[in-house]
Amino acid sequence: MKADNNRQPLDELIHAAIGRDNLHFDYERWKQEHQREISEFQSERSYANAPAVLSTGRRRAMTHTLKIAAAAAIFLGVCLGLPYLGHRDNHGAAFAQLMEQIENAKTVTWKIIFYNQVTSKDGQRRWIETEIRHQAYKAPGLYRDVHLDEKGGVHHWTVTNAINRKEISVNPEKRRATLRELATGTDDPRGPFVWVKEVMETHNLEWVGKRTTPTGEVNVFRTSFRDKPNNQDWSYDFWVAAKTKRLVALYVPGADIYDPENDPERNNPREDAWSFMRPVCSAKYDIDFDADLDDSLFSLEPPAGYSVETERRAYVTEEEMIRYLGILAEYYEDTFPDQVFPFDVPSDRLNAISDKVKEDRTAAEQRLHETKEHYLMAGLNAMPIAHFLEDRAAKDSFRYLGKGVRLGDKDRIVCWYKLKNAGTYRVVYGDLSIKDVAPADLPLPVEP
């Protein structure tokens, strides 16, 4: 009887794909490293070979399809994809080298371009405007952000100490420097691309293909996911140099969601009058690790002869935080939101409010919009609840129970927290009143 080729074991499928004489592929080691994928493959085989109600021909066809799909996924995603990141005989070590390069970078320079979709005053036309900045990083936690004018000259620059949350903005034309204290750090003290390392290590990567750039060939890897706070599909594209295996560019989002090179709106003429602007993409490129950077580029001292302004950071009072809870409840039709962390209003809803002209917003929408804008302008990007808790409350003492609570219900608890160095908890009720309550009197166990 002729053997059924569709029942080849995994060994045969992989060896058929790469060749038995491929000296650069350690098959036994690969099997040890990817036992989970192999188990999933075997599960697919078991399902495909089950004698269900399928005809013999359909069952064999399905078996063949599942085998090819599984083998291709394992082979292309693991055997073929990772060698593009590393040496053919040791892709694991090369991938680790890429991660180490990102994590331990002492200096980095890069450029960033922002793509903004602009809508005309009458709302009938759209076009794309771009902004380019030059940025740099020096360990530990120092960032430099150079803003360019329309002619490509330096308009102003900002140096930020992400560890101490201090910043200086320097305007050479006006010979003015502004020193700021920051409530929230927007830059990662660990480095500019540590988040990339974490994403590439913990998310599945799709090898999209190769691209030719002025500096050489790159491999493009993508991770796609559902962005719950923004209620939308999202992705990142990572460009890794084919020869050096270094990260050279990244796009947020990836080209599967927004492709700046093929957006027809980029060719539309710019208009002076516009109604609103929405960011659609950003790209960091020309990334150079271990660049030679002078310490003076990251000085937080004002240049000699410049006028100096000082801006103290803003704080959120308890009264402001409680008022904000009420604004959220009004927006949700007099019911407190289901959650306040990691977000209280999804970004797609906030964008929809921003897209409306003031006259078309409801009173609750307008109040929420104005409140969000106020705190953003004050540098309180995390919004009042998070800032209040960070500055005023004991760590991990906050508990939110507001889901389903109606605004005005004096007997229902919305949340509680303990102020720093206090013995009692502050309990907020549906009518926005506050009471001090002993830990033992709360409905759930808490730290005393």
Q: Report residue 9's pLDDT band, with 50, 70 and 90 as the boundaries.
A: low
Q: Is residue 194 located within the same domain as residue 215?
A: yes
For a pLDDT cut of 90, what percent of the chain falls above it? 65
User: What values do phi and psi take at 296, rounded to 5?
Assistant: -65, -25
Q: Is residue 249 located within the same domain as residue 284?
A: yes
Neighbours of 168 (CB within 10 A): 20
Task: State residue 425's pLDDT score.
Answer: 97
Q: Is residue 32 located within the same domain as residue 159?
A: no
Euclidean distance between CA atoms 290 and 101, whole angstroms: 9
Euclidean distance between CA atoms 407 and 44, whole angstroms: 52
Q: Is residue 322 located within the same domain as residue 343?
A: yes
Euclidean distance between CA atoms 377 and 384, whole angstroms: 13
Q: What angle do CA 345, 331, 403 make, to 5 degrees?
A: 65
pLDDT at 4 over 90: no
Q: Is residue 289 located within the same domain as residue 322?
A: no
Q: In this structure, is residue 96 part of a structural domain?
A: no
Lowest mean pLDDT across 31-35, 41-45, 208-212, 250-254: 41-45
Q: Is residue 300 located within the same domain as residue 341?
A: no
Task: State residue 32's pLDDT score.
Answer: 57
Q: Is residue 297 located within the same domain as residue 413?
A: no
pLDDT at 77 over 50: no
pLDDT at 76 over 60: no
Euclidean distance between CA atoms 89 and 82, whole angstroms: 11
pLDDT digits (tens, 9 = 90+) for 149-195: 988 899 999 999 999 999 999 999 999 999 999 998 789 999 999 99
Q: In this structure, is residue 448 part of a structural domain?
A: no
Q: In this structure, is residue 68 part of a structural domain?
A: yes
Q: In this structure, is residue 257 part of a structural domain?
A: yes
Task: State residue 26's pLDDT score.
Answer: 52
Q: In this structure, is residue 399 part of a structural domain?
A: yes
Task: State residue 100's pLDDT score.
Answer: 87
Q: What HEC string does the chain produce?
A: CCCCHHHCCHHHHHHHHHCCCCCCCCHHHHHHHCHHHHHHHHHHHHHHHCCCCCCHHHHHHHHHHHHHHHHHHHHHHHHHCHHHCCECCEHHHHHHHHHHHHHCCCEEEEEEEEEEEEEECCCCCEEEEEEEEEEEEECCCEEEEEEECCCCCEEEEEEEECCCCEEEEEECCCCEEEEEECCCCCCCCCCCCHHHHHHHHHCCCEEEEEEEECCEEEEEEEEEEEECCCCEEEEEEEEEECCCCCEEEEEECCCCCCCHHHCHHHHCCCCCCEEEEEEEEEEEEEEEECCCCCHHHHCCCCCCCCEEEEECCCCCCHHHHHHHHHHHHHHCCCECCCCCCCCCCCHHHHHHHHHCCHHHCCHHHHHHHHHHHHHHHCCCCCHHHHHHHHHHECCCCCEECCCCCECCCCCCEEEEECECCCCCEEEEECCCCEEEECHHHCCCCCCC
Q: Report residue 276's pLDDT band, with 50, 70 and 90 as the boundaries.
A: confident
Are 398 and 388 spatial neighbours (Cβ–Cβ below 8 Å)?
A: no
Mean pLDDT of 352-368: 93
pLDDT at 228 over 90: no
Q: Is residue 216 located within the same domain as residue 359?
A: no
How many domains are contained in the chain?
3
Task: State residue 59's pLDDT score.
Answer: 38
Which of 293, 311, 329 finishes a domain?
A: 311
pLDDT digits (tens, 9 = 90+) for 200-216: 888 888 999 999 999 89
pTM, whole model, 2 decimals? 0.71
Neighbours of 201 (CB within 10 A): 12
pLDDT digits (tens, 9 = 90+) for 377-400: 888 988 999 999 999 999 999 999
pLDDT digits (tens, 9 = 90+) for 329-341: 999 999 999 999 9
Boundaries of domain holding 406: 318-441
Q: Is residue 302 located within the same domain as residue 351?
A: no
Q: In this structure, is residue 21 part of a structural domain?
A: yes
Q: In this structure, is residue 205 part of a structural domain?
A: yes
Q: Is residue 222 located within the same domain as residue 153?
A: yes
Which of 243, 277, 311 finishes a domain?
A: 311
Task: State residue 36's pLDDT score.
Answer: 53
Residue 151 or residue 61, greater confidence:
151
Mean pLDDT of 296-311: 96
Lowest mean pLDDT across 43-47, 108-112, 216-220, 260-264: 43-47
Token couple for 224: 């796609």
For a pLDDT cut of 70, what percent of the chain falls above it? 79
Burial code of 364-381, b = ≥16 C-beta within 10 A, e = fewer?
Answer: bbeebbebbeebeebbbe
Token couple for 381: 């990007």
Between helices 56-74 and 10-18, what is the axis angle to 10°? Answer: 60
Mean pLDDT of 93-103: 82
Which of 311, 338, 364 finishes a domain?
A: 311
Q: Is residue 75 located within the same domain as residue 163?
A: no
Q: Is residue 142 located within the same domain as residue 10?
A: no
CATH classification at residue 152: 2.50.20.10
pLDDT at 284 over 70: yes
pLDDT at 12 over 70: no
pLDDT at 19 over 90: no
Mean pLDDT of 54-71: 40
pLDDT at 411 over 70: yes
Euclidean distance between CA atoms 387 and 374, whole angstroms: 14
Q: In this structure, is residue 87 part of a structural domain?
A: no
Mean pLDDT (the chain, rounded): 84
